[in-house]
Structure 1
Amino acid sequence: MELDQLKNIWDKEDVSETPKISLEKQKEIHLPLEKIRKNMRQEFWWTVVMFLLIILFFVLKDMHIFRFKVYVITLVSAQMLVTSFYFFKFFNLYQNLTTVDFNTVENLRDLSYQFKLNEQYYLSFYISFVPFVVAEMLLMFEFIPNLKNIGGAEFIVTFLGLCIFTLLLLYFIGTWWFKRLYGKYISQITQITANLK
């Protein structure tokens, strides 16, 4: 195509206005967004309380093996660092949800993209816990007397079985948790956005 033809095509396109969204549709979108915001706040505070209780438990618990206590507190602290990184990303979405203008379809598409991105963050958050789960299993087998005496093939089968069971449980709980707190509301917003096309 020649440059003149491209210019003619460009001039024919009307890009002066972006499509507007009616007030009725904006109100429809607002309800699931408010539910998502509420669930994000609750999840944040639940996580903070959970970590505080875990640390308090291990700090106050009188353990006979000091090294085990140090290892567990170190692991929990590392988990807190990883969690804080993901909550920082989560907080960015939360801020965007409170500042997004829903007058245009393009803003809704951008919001849908942010939801997909944060769903991937959520999945990677659970995947990031794989090394922690394995390390915690190793600690259990090293310091708990009943498990410490297991050896050979029985150790391998028991260790791998517990790791796989715990990781699958973590995956299914994480998937269920995301769908329960966010998935259905994201689907509602995606459906509204799809109907606006």
Structure 2
Amino acid sequence: MDFNDIQNAWNNEETNNVILPDNLEKIQEANTPLDKIRKNLKKEFIYQVLSIIFIGFIPTFYDFPPKMTTLYYLLFSLFVAVCIYYLAKFYFFYKRLSSITLKTKDNLYETYFDIRLNMELYKTFGFALTPFLILYLIGFLYLKFSEAPGFLSNDFTNYQLGALFSIVVFTMLFMGISLEWWVHKFYGKFAKEIKKVIDELKEE
């Protein structure tokens, strides 16, 4: 291969990497939904932290008995540990979105799949918190009804077992439906807009 062949090959490679103005403009259309995702993610991060702080003060609001307060904060410490793990991941995800610049198709693909991955991670986060929600509901109901005559007995009554089963089933269904709706409303529909841009680029 002589010098001219090498130069031609180099020019061809450069041409393949050039982003046409129309494509660049189309790629940058994804910045609008991306900005909305960043905005929602930032707001939700703040709300999540404030919610954790609020939950930590619930025993003082309802004047829990000492033994129940100890049990509550034992569960709360596990709850906080789970929240920190997932919120840290969402924080780093937010930092990645804030620093990314959509100038190439590869950037767009990577960003889209990162968003999809973290949408699934968000659902996992919600389901990871579901057992705590169930235990909190059971504990709250126990606190409310423990003074009722005959509530505490050696054996669980059919009513108590039915109530316990209903709490578990209702909470699981509620969390599943709520998570799907929440993720779609605040993240999924914007991810679809980015996917639409990707599909349009494929057609060109």
Class of the TM-score when normalised by the shorter of the 2 chains:
0.7 to 0.9
Alpha-carbon deviation of 1:141? 5.4
Listed as ranges, the gaps of 5+ residues in structure 2 are 1-8
After TM superposition, the score normalised by the length of structure 2 is 0.79
Match of 1:175 among 167, 180, 185: 180
User: Radius of gyration: which is bigger?
Assistant: 2
Whether contact under 8 Å (2:102, 2:108) holds in the other structure is: yes
Change (3 A) 1:66 1:147: farther
Alpha-carbon deviation of 1:148? 7.8
Distance 1:98 1:106 in 2: 17
Q: Which residue of 2 aligns with 1:20?
A: 19
Whether contact under 8 Å (1:141, 1:148) holds in the other structure is: no
Residue identity over aligned pairs, in percent, reads: 24
After TM superposition, the score normalised by the length of structure 1 is 0.81
Distance 2:82 2:13 in 1: 44
Q: Which residue of 2 aligns with 1:195?
A: 200
Change (3 A) 1:142 1:20: same
Whether contact under 8 Å (2:37, 2:190) holds in the other structure is: yes
Listed as ranges, the gaps of 5+ residues in structure 1 are 1-10
Alpha-carbon deviation of 1:46? 0.8
Whether contact under 8 Å (1:126, 1:170) holds in the other structure is: yes
Whether contact under 8 Å (2:37, 2:186) holds in the other structure is: yes
Q: Which residue of 2 aligns with 1:70?
A: 70
Cα RMSD over matched residues? 2.5
User: Could you tell me which amino acid in structure 2 is paired with residue 57 of structure 1?
Assistant: I
Aligned to 1:128, what secondary structure does the other structure show?
helix
Whether contact under 8 Å (1:140, 1:147) holds in the other structure is: no
Distance 1:81 1:140 in 2: 22
Cα distance per residue 1:49-95 (max 9 Å; x no partner): 112122223245433x1111222223233222211211111122211
Equivalenced residues, count? 184
Whether contact under 8 Å (2:33, 2:191) holds in the other structure is: yes
Q: Which residue of 2 aligns with 1:185?
A: 190
Q: Which residue of 2 aligns with 1:104?
A: 104
